[in-house]
Amino acid sequence: MTTGPERASPVTRRGCLALGAATALSALGRQGPSGRARAQAPDSAEGPPPVGRLWDPARAGRPLPPVTAADNDAAIQALEKQIHCTCGCNLDVYTCRTTDFTCTVSPALHQHVLALAGQGLSGPEIIDQFVREHGVAILMAPPKRGFNLLGYLLPPVATIIAAGVLIVVLRRWTVRPASGRAQPAADPGATPEELERLRRELDRLSV
């Protein structure tokens, strides 16, 4: 790819010299006042392993705080999955926050959930607090009361009613043997076995 001249050659001669000087100073500094090197830390030393700096941290996006135990708390996650992120993504707070970690709104909402939980509020109380602050649109699904019941009940009720209507219509459509209006024109000489075979053949060829 094409980049600017300063990015095309990140290590310049001046940079090399500076790096060399820094390395020499660092080596001197390690020896301490007595000039004796410190003992090397064993591999199995306790504590976190060393960590290097990135060449260009800006490329890695926004710096993030370390994950805490509360971030993986199943109860907190369950709560956050009920809360709608307001960044315009249509996702819940947990999913939005952990999708690509670029959203700045969902981490703030997450911190708010943690703060409320830290104050000793229960799950429903936290949800209620969010509704008070942001309105009912903050919920991933509308509460099952009032007008919203129409939203929940109409599809199943309409389906049940439609099924009932369909059964009634089918009963009306169904030809009674007595009426004989649309009876299949069977050969009067056909035996029941032959009729059954005919039916099987029809089944076989049916699509």
Partner 1 sequence: MTVLGNLGLWLALLFGVWGAVTGFAGGRTSRPDLAESARRAVFAMCGALAVAVIALEWALFQHDFNVEYVAAYTSRNLPIFYTWSALYAGQKGSLLFWATVLSFFGSLALLFTAPRHRDLLPYVAGVVCTVAAFFVSVMLFGQANPFARLPYTPLDGSGLNPQLQNPGMVFHPPMLYLGYISITIPFAFAIAALLSNRLDGDWLVAIRKWTLLSWLFLSIGICLGMWWAYVELGWGGYWAWDPVENASLLPWLTMTAFLHSVMIQEKRGMLKKWNLALILGSWLLSILGTFITRSGVISSVHSFTQSNVGYFFLFFLIATAAASYALYVTRLPLLLAESRLESMVSREASFLFNNLVFVAIAFSVLWGTLFPILSEWVRGTKITVGPPFFNTVNVPLGLLLLALTGMGPLIAWRRASLPNLRRQFAVPLTAGGFTLLVLLVGGMRDLYALLAIALGGFVAATIAQEFGRGTSARHRQYGEPYLLAFARLVARNRRRYGGYIVHAGMVFLFVAFAGMAFKTETEATLRPGESVSLKSPYGQSYSFTHLGISQYDALNRQVTAATVEVRLDGRRIGFLTPEKRQHVDALGRPTFQPSTEPAIMSMLREDLYGVLGGTVNGTEQAVFRFTINPLVWWVWYGGLVVALGGLIVMWPGGTPAARRAQAGYAVRLVEPTRP
Max Cα separation, the chain?
Answer: 120
Residues 138-167 that bind partner 1 (CB under 8 A): 138-142, 147-148, 151-152, 154-156, 158-159, 162-163, 166-167
Q: Is 1 or 39 the residue whose CB approaches partner 1 more closely?
A: 1
Bridge partners of residue 92, in order along the sequence: 84
Q: At 57, give phi and psi (nearest 5°).
A: -60, -25
Q: Using CB under 8 A, which of 12, 24, 101, 128 touches partner 1?
A: 101
Sketch the per residue contact string, 177 through 196, with partner 1: x for CB under 8 A, - otherwise. ----xx-x---------x--
Q: Does 59 bind partner 1 (CB under 8 A)?
A: yes
- Establish if 114 lies at the interface with partner 1 (CB under 8 A): no
Task: Name which position in 42, 65, 124, 189 contacts partner 1 (CB under 8 A).
Answer: 65
- DSSP letter (8 states) at residue 40: P
Torsion of CA 183, 189, 194, 195, to 10 degrees: 10
The rounded distance, in Å, linking the Cα atoms of 86 and 92 is 9
Distance CA 43, CA 165 (A): 76
Q: How many CB atoms lie within 10 A of CB 130?
A: 22
- Pick the closer one to partner 1 by CB: 101 or 111: 101
| Minimum CB distance to partner 1 smaller for 82 or for 129 | 82
* The binder of partner 1 chosen from 25, 60, 75, 149 (CB under 8 A): 60
66 belongs to the binding site for partner 1 (CB under 8 A) = yes
Query: What whole-number distance in Å separates Cα of residue 134 and Cα of residue 140?
Result: 12
Q: For the CB of residue 26, give the shortest distance to partner 1 in the complex, in Å.
A: 18
